Structure 1
Amino acid sequence: MPSVDVVDETFLAVPPARVAAEFADPGAWPALWPDLRLEVLADRGVEGVRWTVGGALTGSMEVWLEAVLDGTVVHYFLRADPTGPDGLPARWPRRRATAETQRRQRAAKRIAFALKARLEAGRAPGEPPPTDLTRRA
């Protein structure tokens, strides 16, 4: 079992293709995960991306995008161990691993809520997407 095991999901009232575009640019990844080096393991298009992780942690990470109703559930997974001085996975004491997992959980939620705020652009709960509003007018 990895030292850091993060699972998160957040609903965004935005189509999967729009959310996928946010994760498609490797140039954006350092802003989202500054201490991790990511290498694409599987580019799943509108269904997300899987990466191998290096840097501060060694393991795997995935953003899986699930179309639900008129939006997307962003599923986030990070399963990794600290990277030791030799570049190989190491182990942390339980308390340290728990603290790091909680820190990474909060970071994942910050990323999701920032995307939600920006991509939904103030869309009120229960309101149709802006494109639907223009069709009705």
Structure 2
Amino acid sequence: MHVLDLADDTFLAVPPRVVSAEVADPAFAARYWPELNLRVYADRGIKGRCWTVSGPVHGTMEIWLEPVLDGTVLHYYLRADPLGPDGRPRSPGVVALGRLARRWRVVGRRAALDLKCRLEAGRVPGGPPVQP
């Protein structure tokens, strides 16, 4: 079991195929997780992607795209362990672990909300999804 086990969900009023194309673009991961080395181990197409993670944390990350109503729920998961300067797993104290968890949760949330704002641009609140 990993020390960090984070999950977050965001609804986008955009078809899954559109969100999937954004998540599949290597620039997406590089923009939000530049200090992590992410390597795709499962390209799930319209359902998202899974990566192995190395760098300051080591583990896996997943973005699962679930069709819901007239849009997509983007599920973000990060399951990882922090690494020390020697590259070996370390056990941070409770306060440090809380800061670390918040940091990676905020990054995942920012990625999802930036996608939402950009892909839903021009949509009238409560209106139908934007069809690119």
Could you tell me how far 1:26 is from its partner in structure 2? 2.0
Distance 1:122 1:101 in 2: 33
Aligned pairs for 1:2-21 (under 5 A) are 2-21=2-21
TM-score w.r.t. the length of structure 2 is: 0.91
Q: Structure 2 vs 1, CA of residues 130 and 108 (structure 1 numbering), >3 Å: closer, same or farther?
A: closer
Look up the SS of the partner of 1:21 in the other structure. Answer: helix
Kindly provide the amino acid, as one letter, of the partner of residue 117 in structure 1. C
| 2:93 paired with 1:116 | no
Contact 1:16 1:72 in 2 (8 A): yes
Q: Which residue of 1 aligns with 2:65?
A: 65
Q: Which residue of 2 aligns with 1:104?
A: 104
Which runs of at least 4 in structure 1 moved beyond 6 Å after TM superposition? none
| 1:43-62 residue CA offsets vs partner (Å, 9 max, x unmatched) | 10000001110011100100
| 1:21-45 residue CA offsets vs partner (Å, 9 max, x unmatched) | 1111223322111111101111100
Q: Which residue of 2 aligns with 1:49?
A: 49
Greater helix fraction, Structure 1 or Structure 2: 1
Aligned pairs for 1:85-96 (under 5 A) are 85-96=85-96
| 2:79 paired with 1:79 | yes
Stretches of structure 2 that go unaligned for 5 or more consecutive residues are none
Greater C-alpha radius of gyration? 1
Could you tell me how far 1:106 is from its partner in structure 2? 1.6
- Aligned pair count? 131
Q: Which residue of 2 aligns with 1:134?
A: none
